[in-house]
Amino acid sequence: MRQSSQNYKFNYSFSLVSKTQFFFAILAFLALGGVAPSIQAADPASPTAPASALANTPATMPAPAVAVKPAMPDALAGEALYISGDAKRGVVACVGCHGANGNSAAGTWPKLSAQGSAYIVKQLKNYKDGTRANPIMMGMVAALTDQDMANIAAYLRKQQATGGVAQSKETIELGKTIYQAGIAAKGVPACAGCHSPNGVGVPAQYPRLSGQWAEYTSAQLGYFRDGTRKNGASMTTIASKLSDLEIKAVSDYMAGLR
């Protein structure tokens, strides 16, 4: 009974303030050290409760169940930042290189459309922490907050991917064999095993690869191989077993995959 009246008060006050205000209220609450270390400590009757938890925990405030995370990703805010940047904060518009809807115009810049959002966020963080070394993108992420990254990723995930085409008739069979079956003699696993047979990937685990520019893909396989890109351990092992010709062949095949 006591529990349900607490819930009632909580829901009631929640309807009065906006979600944003509620979020900042929680933030302020946490900043004040009000987070209860455990359920036991939140109980004022418990003799083990530290004084600070007692002092700062209002009786009607439920202890947050999870650690503070960015608020829900906002795809519209992500779209605005992607298209226009934010000059005041030094955020450069992504569209200039990555193209409208994340479909870039040339292989110097990767397509980002329809890519899994967890993968996008991870890459942006990896440019920040240096495990993916690239001077251009390291500059681009400097001004991005975790919330910006989540917002942009939510926008990109919803964009329609434009397909690509394989260009090289001579290597298409080799590329297909590597992608779909691997190279048993060299211990190279089938790319399809993780990235899926049609290359759409497995969101949250394996990135989408199909339709990506071959120029970009082969550059990345080279970076995994030479250690410039250190953020995918399995890819470093796999790429280190591929020759230049094999990289070229599989990259071209993937560009036309759908």
Q: Using the minimum distance from each CB to ligand HEC, give the nearer residue, 49 or 179.
A: 179
Q: Which of 94, 161, 255, 257 binds ligand HEC (CB under 6 A)?
A: 94
Among 26, 63, 83, 92, binds ligand HEC (CB under 6 A): 92
Draw the binding track, 165-204, toward ligand HEC (x: CB under 6 A; -: no contact).
-------------x---------xx-x-xxx---------
Buried residues in 119-150 as b, exposed as e (16+ CB within 10 A): bbbbbbbbbbeeebebeebeebbeebeebbbb
In whole angstroms, the minimum distance from the beta carbon of 149 to ligand HEC comes to: 7
Between 62 and 189, CB nearer to ligand HEC: 189
3-state helix, strand, coil in the chain (%, to 5): 55, 5, 45
**What length is written for the chain?**
258
Of 34 and 148, nearer to ligand HEC (C-beta) is: 148
CB 123 to ligand HEC: min, Å: 4
- Give the nearest distance from C-beta 109 to ligand HEC in angstroms: 5
Give the CA dihedral 170, 218, 238, 234, nearest 10 degrees.
-150
| Contact indicator for 179, 253 with CB cutoff of 8 Å | yes
Cα distance between residue 118 and residue 177, in whole Å = 29
> Cα separations (Å) of 36 from 7, 11, 22, 46, 68?
18, 20, 18, 12, 13
Rounded-to-integer distance, Cα 168 and Cα 187, Å: 25
Sign of CA dihedral 156, 146, 97, 196: negative
SS3 252: helix
Query: Of the candidates 57, 123, 151, 159, which one interacts with ligand HEC according to CB under 6 A?
Result: 123
Within residues 141-160, the interface with ligand HEC by CB under 6 A covers 152
Residue from 79, 206, 225, 248 in contact with ligand HEC (CB under 6 A): 206
Site string for ligand HEC, 209-238 (x = CB under 6 A): x-------x-xxx---------xx-xx--x
Query: Does 83 interact with ligand HEC (rule: CB under 6 A)?
Result: no
Binding residues for ligand HEC, per CB under 6 A?
91-92, 94, 96-98, 108-110, 112, 120, 122-124, 132, 134, 136-137, 140, 152, 178, 188-189, 191, 193-195, 206-207, 209, 217, 219-221, 231-232, 234-235, 238, 250
